[in-house]
Amino acid sequence: MPTLGILNGGGPAPGLNGVINAATLAARARGWKVIGIPKGYSNLIKGNTAACHELTEAAVAGIETQGGSILFTSRANPTKKPEDMAKVVASLKALGVTHLVSIGGDDTATAAMKAAAAMGGVIRVAHVPKTIDNDLPLPNEAPTFGFETAKQLGALLCKNLRVDAKTTGRWYLVTAMGRSAGHLTLSMAVGSGSDLAVIAEEFPPGPIKLDAIVAIVERAIEKRAKAGHDWGLAVLAEGILDRLDPAELKSKVGTLEPDEHGNPRMSEVDLGRVVRDLLTPRLKAKGLDAGFITKIIGYELRCADPCAFDVQYTRTLGAGAVEFLADGKGDALIALVDGKILPLRFDDLKDPGTGKVRIRRVNIDGALWKQSLALQAR
C-alpha cells in the first residue's frame, strides 16, 4: 500500500491545514495510508518516528478553515549535515513512506530539493510552496498561499492604526514582515490607504544607507505637514535590514542571531524605532515636533484563519500534489497557474549563484509599484 507522509517546514502561514486536509482526503480516497509528521524535519532528524501518527478523514475534518497547523512546524534544517539528511531518509523508510508532501517556503523548498536527491528515487516528493512573504518565483505572478490572508489582515491592522494616528495626531512607523521582498509591505500600505511604503527593491544594488530611509520618511512628514496633517502611517519593509550597510547595521542594530537556515532573525528588530531615533532630531531642527509610535507586524498574520481564497487555493494544491504523485511523478514544486496544477522542476527554480530557490522581489518597473508611488506622500 502506498504511504503518504506530510510535513510542514519554516514559519507558519494561513492555509497549512487546508493542504493537510486536502492531501489526506485525496490520498485516502485512493486507498493510501497517510502519516502526519509533526514539527517538520525535526523528528525525522532525531529518528523519532514514534511522534508520527496516521491521519484519517476524521483527524482532518474541518481543519481547512483554521489557522496554524495540526502538524505544527519547525525550522530544523536537514541540509546542514550529511548525517542529518541520512537520518531523514532512514526515518521516512522506517515509516514506510513512499511519497512525501512537504509544505514550506524557500528554505523548505531547498531542503526538499536536496531530500529528493538524497532519496535517489526511492521516495517521491511534491513540495507545496507557502509563505506570507510571496517571494517564491511562481509563474505569472501567482501568489504563494497565505499571502492573500496576510495582506488582508495586515492592511486592516494598518487601517486601524492610521485612524488612531489621525485621532491622536501622531505618526506610526510600521515594520512589515518580509525577509527578502517587499510584497507584503506594499500590499499592507496601499490596501490600508497608508501614506508611505519603503521597500528594499526601490534602491540600487548594494548596501542601503540608513540616511536614505530616514530622508524618505522625513520628506513624507514634511509634505503632509505642509498640507496641514500632523499625522500619518509609514510601512517599512523588514527586508531593508538585510540590505543595510553592514557597519551601520552593527552599530545601530547590533549582531543578529541566525536561524537554522543561516538567515538573520530580522523579525526581532524594530526598524521603525531605528528610523525614529535618527529622524526625531532632524525634524526638531526644522521646527517639526512629530510624535511617533513604532510597531512590528508579522507574527500576528502567520496563524490567522485563512480567507476563502486561501482555503480554496490550499485545498486545490493539496489535492493536486497527491494527484501528481499518484501519476508516478515526483520531485517538483506544485503550483496553480491559470487555473491548472503546474508541477515545477526544482532545478528550474534554483539560483545558479546560490544553489537555493530564487527569490521573487517586487518589480519596481511594474504597475503595482509605479502606481503606488502616485498614492504615497512622496
Catalytic residue among 84, 106, 107, 133: 133
- CA dist 119 and 109 (Å) reads 15
- The Cβ of residue 4 has, within 10 Å, a number of other Cβ atoms equal to 26
Instruction: Tell me the whole-structure pTM to 2 decimals.
Output: 0.92
Any catalytic annotation for residue 133? yes
Decide: 315 and 22 in contact? Cβ < 8 Å.
Answer: yes
pLDDT of 110: 74
Q: Please give the helix or strand (H or E) that residue 233 lies within, else none.
A: strand 232-237
Decide: 236 and 213 in contact? Cβ < 8 Å.
Answer: yes
Q: What is the residue-level pLDDT of the chain in tens, covering all 378 positions?
A: 999 999 999 999 999 999 999 999 999 999 999 999 999 999 999 999 999 999 999 999 999 999 999 999 999 999 889 999 999 989 998 999 999 999 987 677 777 777 777 878 788 999 999 999 999 889 999 999 999 999 999 999 999 999 999 999 999 999 999 988 999 999 999 999 999 999 999 999 999 999 999 999 999 999 999 999 999 999 999 999 989 988 887 777 765 565 555 555 555 689 999 999 999 999 999 999 899 999 999 999 999 999 999 999 999 999 999 999 999 998 889 999 999 999 998 778 778 888 777 889 999 999 999 999 999 999
pLDDT of 40: 95
pLDDT of 260: 53
pLDDT of 263: 57
